[in-house]
Chain A
Amino acid sequence: MRFSIFRFDPERDKKPYMQDFEIELEAADRMLLDVILRLKARDDSLTIRKSCREGVCGSDAININGRNGLACITNVRELKEPVVLRPLPTFPVIRDLVVDITRFFEQYHSIKPYLINDEPAPERERLQSPEDREKLNGLYECILCACCTSQCPSSWWNPEKFVGPAGLLQADRFIADSRDRATRERLDDLNDVYRLFRCRSIMNCTEVCPKGLAPSRAIERIRLALVKDSL
């Protein structure tokens, strides 16, 4: 199988370049990460970030044939040759396929991704009805791999001002949480022409989310909540 991989070593290269590889697939090669690791065994300078290798940690998010995804849960046999691997678009490249997603986490932290509740804590726990818990499904599963934000045109043009799909999905996760008491502040914070309303419902985020989540629906729910709030 033929591969074309983005290479950049900050200590050696002035500019990034694409390097071609060819490798015979073996029976055990199921996912793209399996093959990248075999290529790495051949050329140990090839760099990728990975950890859980089963779609839980989100470390190995890369651009695969133009589309962001997780190497560890992408079936290598379904990919079109040559398989072109590049780092996530718009993030500064540290080395080869590894990018610096500090900016992504800055936006994530800006939405205060934690429960805010100043009421005295009950003796055991803050209870939630099964119906209220149900509202968190499709929101809490985000693994913060940055596939969505890096494929989002609104984030490309305004990375500092637009929260981005992952951050807004998390914002909705806390707005939807019956135990959270900061809904008003959260909505006020997002009621901004850039922070929320820069989204143009292009839906690239939902197209590429490796966990099958729908950040575009979450953004829409926040918009609707703002409309209801203003009436």
Chain B
Amino acid sequence: MLRPENKRPVFFNPVLIQMPVGALTSIVHRVTGILLAAGIPFTIYILDLSLQSDQSWSRVVHLLDAWPFKAIAIVFIWALAHHLLAGVRHLLGDVDVGSGLISARRSAWMVNLGGLAVGLLAAGALL
């Protein structure tokens, strides 16, 4: 049966709804989680390839020397750093550390900037 409210429109457009820094951090936390999970098969493949023989090890080194792979590595290092920091922020929040609004805003900024800083360091080291 059609519920009466089904005939009624709903305003719901996340792009038009303001996202405070905590919400943005949460979205990035999810995106980095998906990226990291999606990268696992590739990482295992590269690890397996590197362990097969001296030649395959050289192939992996050569492969990772190409700039597209370096760019991917930088993105993954940023994703790992952001995801790790955001996870620690959640764990601390669960035990009542930094879960007030002001400190939560501050820690969300720290997670975002910390992730970016690690990504930039990785870029500096790899490029």
Interface residues of A (CB under 8 A from B): 6, 8, 10, 15-16, 63, 65-67, 84, 86-94, 100, 102, 151, 153, 156, 200-204, 206-207, 214, 216-217, 220, 223-224
Knowing A92-B9, A93-B8, A203-B22, the reply to whether A220 touches B93 (Cβ < 8 A) is: yes
List of B residues within 8 angstroms of A216 by Cβ? 99, 101, 104
Contact between chains at B26 and A223 (CB < 8 Å): no
Asked if B26 contacts A224 (CB within 8 A), the reply is no
Please report the C-alpha to C-alpha distance between residue A156 and residue B104 in the assembled complex, in whole angstroms. 22
Q: How far is the CA of A55 from the CA of B101 in the complex (A)?
A: 21
Instruction: Say how far A13's CB is from chain B's closest CB, in angstroms.
Output: 9
Flag if B90 contacts A89 (CB, 8 Å).
Answer: no
Instruction: Evaluate whether A8 and B9 lie within 8 angstroms (CB atoms) in the complex, with A202-B26, A203-B101, A204-B23 already known.
Output: yes
> Of residues 19 to 45 in B, which have CB atoms within 8 Å of A's CB atoms?
19-20, 22-23, 26
B12 adjacent to A156 (CB under 8 Å): yes
Cβ of B24 to closest chain A Cβ, rounded Å: 10
Q: Is B17 an interface residue (CB 8 A)?
A: yes
On B, residues with C-beta under 8 Å from A are 5-14, 16-20, 22-23, 26, 90, 93-96, 99-101, 104
Chain B contacts of A153 at CB under 8 A?
A: 23, 26
A63-B12 Cα distance, complex, nearest whole Å: 11
Instruction: State the Cβ distance, B112 to closest chain A Cβ, in Å.
Output: 14
With beta carbons under 8 angstroms apart, the residue of B9, B20, B96 that contacts A207 is: B20
Q: How far is the CA of A91 from the CA of B9 in the complex (A)?
A: 9
- A129 to B23, alpha carbons, bound, how many Å? 39
Determine how close the nearest CB of chain B comes to the CB of A167; give it in whole angstroms: 19
In the complex, the answer to whether B101 meets A206 with C-beta atoms within 8 Å is: yes
Q: Which residue of the partner chain B has the closest CB to A209? A: B101
Partner of B23, one of A8, A92, A202, A217: A202
Choose from A6, A65, A202 the contact partner of B22 (Cβ within 8 Å): A202
The distance from the CB of A146 to the nearest CB of chain B, in whole angstroms, is: 13
Q: How many whole Å from A100's CB to the nearest CB in chain B? A: 6
Q: How far is the CA of A102 from the CA of B16 in the complex (A)?
A: 24
Contact partner of B96 among A90, A93, A224, CB < 8 A? A224
**Residue pair B11, A63 in contact (C-beta under 8 Å):** yes
| Nearest CB of B to A106, in Å | 12
Residue of B nearest to A204 (CB): B23
Q: Is the CB of B12 within 8 A of A90?
A: yes
